[in-house]
Amino acid sequence: MSSTFSEQGFAKEYMSRFVGSSDDAWFDYEKLLTHRRIVNPETHEIVRSDIESFYILSVDVARKGCQTACTVLKVFPGGEKYTCNIVNVYVLGKTEDEKVFDR
């Protein structure tokens, strides 16, 4: 009930929500959102004999009441360096029945 309470500030600080950008930001948040698409998502392993590659799964395990996210990265070794592309993102626990953590 405090007069200094800001719902947007609370979402940003305590719920880790990205709530947009300020007028002084170096980038346009709305424009950034239009580019947040996986153009050719891979739903299964794609092997090409002429290109060496492997996959890495990165998982952000959810806490109570949240969703777990799994990012699929395809890695291409090239001499002394590796390059990678995000080829898919899966969000697990989209409904209460699918969430596995209850504590």
Note the pLDDT tens digit of each residue in 64-87.
667 788 999 999 999 899 999 999
C-alpha 4: how far from its chain's center?
A: 32
Under DSSP, the state recorded for 49 is: T
pLDDT(62) > 90: no
- Please give the residue that has the higher pLDDT: either 100 or 62: 62
Rounded to two decimals, what is the model's pTM?
Answer: 0.60
Sign of the CA dihedral 12, 65, 41, 52? positive
pLDDT(30) > 90: no
